[in-house]
Amino acid sequence: TMPMSKRRPPPYYGGCRGATQAEMMLWSMADQDSDGRLSHEEVRGRLARFLPGAAGAADAAAVGPKAEQFHDEVDDLLAQAIFVGLDKDHDGAISRDEYCEVAMAFRKEAQRWFDVAQRFSDQLLASSSTCARYGAYYVISGPRAADAPDWHVGSDAVVFVNSSSMHAAPAFQAALTNARLARLKAGRNVSVSIHPFPQTRDEQHNLEQLAVFLLAMCITFCLSFIPAGIVHFIVKERESGAQQLQILSGASHWTFWCANLVYDLLAYTVPALCVPVCLHQFGLQMILTGECGQAVALVLAAFGPAIVSFSYLISYFFKDHAKASNAVLSFCLVGAGVFSTVLFILVSVNFSPLNKYPLACDTPMPGFPDGKCWLPLAQKFRRVLGPLFRLVPTVCVYQALFSISLMANLQAMMPEGAAEAFVSVLGQGKDGPQVSLSPLAWHWAGEPLAYLLGEAIAFFVATVLLDVCLHSPRVLRWVDPAVNARRLAVLLKFRGQRARVLVEATSALIDEASAGHSGLGGGSVEFEQERTAMVSPQDVALHVWQLEKTYSRWTAPWAAPKRAVRGISFSVHAGEVP
C-alpha cells in the first residue's frame, strides 16, 4: 500500500470534496450564473427545460388553459419537493455545500445498500444449506418502541429473495410475519398457500422462442455420437478379420454392408424417436405441430441412412478402432459447430428480404446483371464452401433443424392467416421477393434435406464399391508385385535363370506388399502359388494345392453352389508358424 502522504487526494470542486464528476456536472448545469446558489426560480426553470411536462406545455396550451395550469402546478410541486430535501437552513436558496452534503449522503446510502446486496449474494453462493439459497433477512433497526404511535410503521427489516423461485417471496415474508407475531405474543399464526397458475399461451410461446433456437445445436451434438459408435465396430471388425471371414464364408459384399445398414438403422431408431418424445415432454409443441413437425420427422428419417453410410465410408481412413471413434466424434462436433457457423455468417452477410431471391443475392435482376450483394466475396465463398461443408451430415441436420425452428417462431408470432397474406403480397410483383414460409422450402430446410437423401445413397454405394475393389482378386492382381514382376520379365523377354533372379530381386517388395495386404485379406497370392509349386510336399509340414470351398444355397437349392474360395495354394515349413 502507498503511504498516506503519497496517496492522491479525492477531487475537490470548490468546497465539495469527494464529489463525482457526474454530481458536479449536474450542479454546473443547474447553476448557470455560477453564483454558488440555486433559487426557487432557477430550480423551476431547470425542471421546465429537462422534464417532458414543461416541454409539452405549448401543445397543452392548444388544448386549453387548464392543461397549462396543471403542468405549472406539477413543476411548482417538484421544485418545492427539491427545496424541502436540499435547503437545510431554510433560507430560500440551495447552496453548493448543501447540495454536496445531500449528494454525499445519498451516495453513502446507495453504497451501503449495494454492499448489503453484495454480501448477501456472496453468502448465498457460499452457503451449504439449500434453504438459505432462496432468501434471507437484513435487520435495519431495532424493534418499534411500545409507546410509538400506531401510524408510525417504518421498515425495520428487509427480505431478500431469490427470484428464480416463485415460492420464495411469500414463504419468507410469512416467516418474518410469524416471527413478529410471536414476539408480540399475539397468539396468531400466518400460513401461506401457493398455487401458481399454469402458463398462458403467450408465456409458453415466449419460453419456446428462447429455447427453440438452442434445440438445433443440442440435438445435433447428441446425434454426433452415433457415427463414432458405428465406426468403432466397423474398424474393429476389420482389425480382427471378422469381415474377411464373413466374405470368405460366402457372404457377398453387398450382403455384408446391407446387413450392417439394417442393423445400424434399427439401432438409430431409438435415439431418433427420443427426439420428439423429449420435445413433447419439455412442452416445445411449436416445432412438433403442422408442417414443422413433418419437416422434423423427414430430417430425422433422412439423417439416419446418411450418417450410417458416412460412417462406413470414413472408416477406411482408420486402422485403430479407438482412434477412429474419437476422431469421428470430434470431426462431427466440429462440423456441426464451426462449419455451420461459418455458413450462417456467409448467408447472413448478404441476406436481404427485398431481393427477388433473399438467399441468392447474385441472381441477375433487371438493372443488376451481377445481382445485389452487399459483399460479393462472401457469396462466392458460400457457393464453394456450402457444398463441401454439407458433405458432413451433421452440418445438414443442424441447418435443417435451425431453419425449422426459425419458421416455427415466425408462424407462432404471426396471427392466423397473416403468413399467407404476407407471402401473397410479396409475390405480386414480377421482381418481388420469391419467398416461402414453409419449412420444407428449398431455401430453408429443403436444401439440407436433399443433401441428406443424396448422401445416404451416394455414400453407401461408394462404400460397397470401394470394399469390392479392395478385396477383389482381379483388382489385387493388378497391384500384386509378383504378378507385375512376371509381366515385366515377359515384357523384357527374360527366360530361365534371369527371370528367376528378377523375381527374387523383388522379394523384399513382395513381402512388404504381402504384409500390407494382409489386413485386407489379400497378400501376394501369385507369388505364394509359384513358391508352393517349386517345393516338394515331402519338404514342408503343410502343403495345400488348388484348394476350393463351396457352400450350398439354402435359400435357393436349385441354384449352383456358392464358391467361397478357389485355387488356394500355400506351403508351411516346420517351425514357420508358432
Domain of 32, CATH number, reads: 1.10.238.10
Residue with cell 509359384: 530
150 domain residue, yes or no: no
300 domain residue, yes or no: yes
370 and 500 inside one domain: no
Do 262 and 460 contact (CB within 8 A), yes or no? no
Do 87 and 39 contact (CB within 8 A), yes or no? no
| Confidence at residue 349, expressed as pLDDT on a 0 to 100 scale | 79
Q: How confident is the model at residue 258 (pLDDT cuts 50, 70, 90)?
A: very high
Q: How confident is the model at residue 304 (pLDDT cuts 50, 70, 90)?
A: very high
Q: How confident is the model at residue 7 (pLDDT cuts 50, 70, 90)?
A: very low
Those residues with Cβ within 8 angstroms of residue 26's Cβ, 6 or more apart along the chain or in another chain: none
pLDDT surpasses 60 at 154: no
99 domain residue, yes or no: yes
465 and 479 inside one domain: no
Bridge partner residues of 221 (DSSP): none
- Range among 287-301, 448-462, 469-483 with highest mean pLDDT value: 448-462
334 and 379 inside one domain: yes
263 and 308 inside one domain: yes
Q: Is 482 left (phi over 0), alpha (psi -120 to 50) or beta?
A: alpha
User: Could you list the residue range(s) of the whole structural domain that residue 133 is in?
Assistant: 127-139+156-187
213 domain residue, yes or no: no
The mean per-residue pLDDT over the stretch 30-37 comes to 75
Number of domains the chain contains: 5
465 and 485 inside one domain: no
Check: pTM over 0.75? Answer yes or no: no
Eight-state DSSP code of residue 36: S
Do 510 and 481 contact (CB within 8 A), yes or no? yes
Other C-beta atoms closer than 10 Å to the C-beta of 445 total 29
